[in-house]
Amino acid sequence: MTDLAYLPATEALRLFTARELSPVELMNAVIERAEAVEPLVNALSERTFMDALRQAEQAERAYADGTARPLEGLPVAAKDEQPIAGRLATDGSLAYADHVALVTHPILERVTAAGGIVHARTTTPEFCCAGFTHSKLWGVTRNPWNLEYSPGGSSGGAGAALASGTATLATGSDIGGSIRLPAANTGTVGYKPPYGRVPAMPPYNLDHYCHDGPLARTVADCALLQNVIAGPHPLDVVSLRPAVRLPEHLGDVRGMRIAYVANPGNWEIEPEIAANTLQVAAALQEAGAIVEEASLGLRRADVMRAAFVHFGAIFGPMVARVAEEHGDTLTRYARAFAEDAAAAYGRDGFLAGLELEAEIYAPIGGLLDRYDALICPTTGAPGLLAGDDYVDTKITVNGVALDHYLEYSMTTIFNIASRCPVLNVPSGRATGGMPTGVQIVGRTYDDATVFHVGAALERERPWPFRPESLTA
């Protein structure tokens, strides 16, 4: 049997139902793995292992008496940003180190109602405002594939937990790539649902850049969790009716028209990532899809400008408000984010930002009117160094020093195009053993297609789950 700590969720459920594996056995394996690797990886901000084992015993009884629910007995790591009533709600900040949540996030309500066991919570950068994961509160989270690198952010702890075998499923959130960046950097699968598909909490449920979603090690596992958390919620006015369920059988792309976008415009992309993306396109052709090279002609400066204007209207002021009260307790990167967002908003204003967003979406919408989906790289480089705040450091990609480290990413394009579903799946490996990722972008609100494409890629080019370098 596969190493239990890396057992796919769908396979675990099959074995639970057949009474060939106990939820207690799986939970013990995950806990033992966490105790071995957490001193190196540091992906878990909170552990509730004793309570998780008690819940696993209850899950064992549910399989015995035929009352098992869709996620019964599975260890699910929850992103620390998503609150649980009665537990700390710190946002990864010393400023909120003693805050206790009064409510539970809708998706965590649904996970537990479906029998999932939240055995741990996962680290984030402070206020989830960075594409890497370290904070003054929790320290540095490292990438299980190469400990010198970050797992990305802001759902970095989620990606690192999956890659290090300390969770079977994980939840994340994405405002500029915060699910897809960690998925790409850790060799996992991450889904940014279209805006409104998964309920969120106010006020960020009203921010069209914001998306809560699932991470997993396989496409089927990601679909499993997405089907549990999707659907309308009475406290989220933008949550969509009716609930859309992904099909159980995925991977048929025969006759599907897919646009291969090697570069969305003028992003810098390392040759090994470009080569991996090209291999993905070839694999989809082998699977029966019609794959044609296409272009979008976007400018990364426009995407960065639109994004920071948007951040300056909603996200940045929240961070700035805390900074005004707590000053130097905040990380340098959080203060820099608030300052950059405020400056962008002050220069352009919200209306100009929306006009620019419309210009950015126009070629995407036109392309997706001709194709069922498009694929493009998730990042232009394999990852960011662990512990660097990139306030003073310039990141160099393909020999070019970027103005801002987030320019190494191509994810924010599709927070602007927020109604498009986007699935990140692994595309290969790069220097230093680091995974690379590809984004599968669907037409607005066409969730199923991106999962079909992802499942076809997984079948044609299976990816490894366990980092060979993490020997603990």
Distance (Å, whole) CA 114 – CA 291: 38
* pLDDT (tens digit per residue) in 27-57: 999 999 999 999 999 999 999 999 999 999 9
Residue 1 has a pLDDT of 46
Q: Which residues 6+ apart lie within 8 Å of 17 measured at CB?
A: 63, 68
Stated pTM of the model: 0.98
Residue 159 maps to a domain:
yes
Residue 44 maps to a domain:
yes
Residue 468 maps to a domain:
no
Distance (Å, whole) CA 83 – CA 178: 17
Query: pLDDT class for 327, splitting at 50, 70, 90?
Result: confident
> What's the mean pLDDT when you consider all of the chain?
97
Radius of gyration of the chain (CA): 20
* Residues recognised as catalytic: 79, 154, 178
Domain that holds residue 29: 4-460
Percent pLDDT > 90 in the chain is 98
Classify residue 467 by its DSSP letter.
-
* pLDDT (tens digit per residue) in 200-243: 999 999 999 999 999 999 999 999 999 999 999 999 999 999 99
Q: Are 196 and 220 in contact (CB under 8 A)?
A: no
Distance (Å, whole) CA 381 – CA 370: 29
DSSP string, 117-153: EEEEEE--SGGG-SSS-EETTTEE--BTTBTTB---S
Residue 471 has a pLDDT of 74
Residue 149 has a pLDDT of 98
Comparing CA positions, the residue from 142, 180, 111, 178 lying closest to residue 37 is 142
Residue 353 maps to a domain:
yes
Query: pLDDT class for 9, splitting at 50, 70, 90?
Result: very high
36: enclosing H helix or E strand: helix 23-41
Residue 60 maps to a domain:
yes
* pLDDT (tens digit per residue) in 165-208: 999 999 999 999 999 999 999 999 999 999 999 999 999 999 99
Specify the number of domains making up the chain.
Answer: 1
Distance (Å, whole) CA 174 – CA 182: 10
Residue 469 maps to a domain:
no
Q: Are 73 and 59 in contact (CB under 8 A)?
A: yes
Q: Mean pLDDT over residues 324-329, rounded? A: 92
Query: pLDDT class for 277, splitting at 50, 70, 90?
Result: very high
Residue 174 maps to a domain:
yes
What CATH number does the domain containing 171 carry? 3.90.1300.10
Residue 421 maps to a domain:
yes
Residue 2 has a pLDDT of 60
Q: Which residues 6+ apart lie within 8 Å of 280 measured at CB?
A: 375, 427, 438, 457, 461
